[in-house]
Structure 1
């Protein structure tokens, strides 16, 4: 099938202007261009297409049957170019700026880094300030632009989207299991080195809900620092309870006791209503809303 060599799309606006105005002079006024320029454009387009598009008359120009047959396709092309231009404009406006993102220590250390690296590859002009904190950043006071939370915000003025649920998995490093053996039943946990929280009672409550009454003294290692907690499990210090995505993605960690189901934590992405319309904030929000559920 033969094709037009190096078709010049830039000639289409001139063609449509002459078609709509009915004269070169009227088209020149509409485009704020010179009449000889438009005449040259029409001649170039006719040469590329190999057909006459207009017949000169005393009052202007008359479109030929070929011009009328091409008109609809030309208008669709012009509309597509306008749409593309608007998309490029919006993208250029959203690709520059700074966004402050707040997340828990585990999310900031393990969940978000590969996603933010991907975002930087797509949007090198966006600067991300990542705040790793287990405290709930106050978006109303603009301590952060976007927050990844494990509870739904109740304050008015915030917009929240639930991204999924985070499950907690009992696990241990294979080196620990090689030394101490692998528990096959929940009751066997009491005979193992357990890693728990210090002041936080989430693990104790989760175990109790699963029918396993553990006390603080069952946990020979305790810390509320999520990064230190993760490192203790990875170091083979004992059996711990980590986010399922972290167990899945960390070499050497082995999931244990699938029947030990702890309450799942909802994951919310939150933004202040007033800055949701900011193109750069919206770009980061939409990116995380799409990609975080895949990681979970």
Structure 2
């Protein structure tokens, strides 16, 4: 560890971003660097340690055993550096006031409580409001200061950052699948019960387009509230689509045909251009970006 403490943090940061993003180009974009600059920093770290940290696999990079060993330490150092940065920002006297965050009910329930707790520790003078809604909040009318969305805003006076590519799968409770059996084809999934949040006919159309011949009658349980619908799926009432970031937190469920049925969708953070440079908005915006872009365990 003493040797790590003498290393250039920029080199370690380049290594950490490359390991987590999976490629030099993605890591460079994440850090706001050019790819040659990032590549030089990773190479410099390998020279400093006299170790090979990455091996090229196709168009991507794979960590060597030495790279895996280093990653644990680099993540701990990166987390400490981020806590120090956010703490310093949060202690500034102007970091006070109210910030409202708009997100879907399921994100508000599963992700935002931890985010709000972190922010309150970092900036005790902040007041955070969570606007849990499945409708798009109108930021131009100040219905919220920051919104988490799956569509990029078209208004020129809104600032948007694409923080991750969401990964959705179909899930069911393990005990439900133990009783009903695990389908091996999309067609066989139609014989299972389904849980809908929102309009079953609309969900039916999207799912049929993926090759699963469900009908509106397949949705034996439904709720407009995503939290309620997901809880019913977790309790064994049927199959339900869900963002892997959410589903990975619940041990009661497992993916169904994960190698055949998946939906990728963008996750955007949006705020108003006029307030994006406000210290309190910037603190909350950047912390949300950090949490939402973190890798999700498979």
Question: Under a length normalisation based on structure 1, what TM-score does the superposition of the two structures give?
Answer: 0.65
| Residue aligning to 1:275 | 275
- Superposition misfits of 4+ residues, deviation over 6 angstroms: none
Gap change, CA 1:244 and 1:230, over 3 Å in 2: same
Q: For residue 151 of structure 1, what is the aligned residue in structure 2?
A: 151
**167 and 224 in structure 1: CA distance in 2 versus 1, 3 angstrom threshold:** farther
Q: After superposition, give the CA deviation of every residue in 1:203-261 in whole Å (9 maximum; x if it has no partner).
A: 33442332223221222222332111111111111121111112211121111111343
**Preserved CA contact (<8 Å) 1:169 1:243:** yes
Larger Rg: 1
- Supply the RMSD in Å over aligned alpha carbons: 2.2
- TM-superposed CA distance for 1:197, in Å, is 4.0
Name the structure 1 match of 2:183: 183
After TM superposition, the score normalised by the length of structure 2 is: 0.65
For 1:155-234, list aligned pairs within 5 A: 155-199=155-199, 203-234=203-234
Question: Counterparts of 2:107 and 2:221 in 1: how far apart (Å)?
Answer: 22
Tell me how far apart the structure 2 counterparts of residues 228 and 286 of structure 1 sit (CA, whole Å): 30
- SS state at 2:217 partner: helix
Q: How many residues align?
A: 210
CA contact (8 A) 2:194 2:238 kept: yes
Which segments of 5 or more consecutive residues in structure 2 lack a partner in the other structure? 1-86
* 1:112 counterpart residue number: 112
- Whether the aligned pair in 2 keeps the contact of 1:145 and 1:281 (CA below 8 Å) is yes
Deviates more, 1:173-182 or 1:194-203: 194-203
Unaligned runs of 5+ in 1: 1-86
SS in structure 1 of the partner of residue 289 of structure 2: helix
Is the 1:206–1:263 contact (alpha carbons within 8 Å) kept by the matching residues of 2?
A: no
Q: Distance in 2 between matches of 1:263 and 1:202?
A: 16
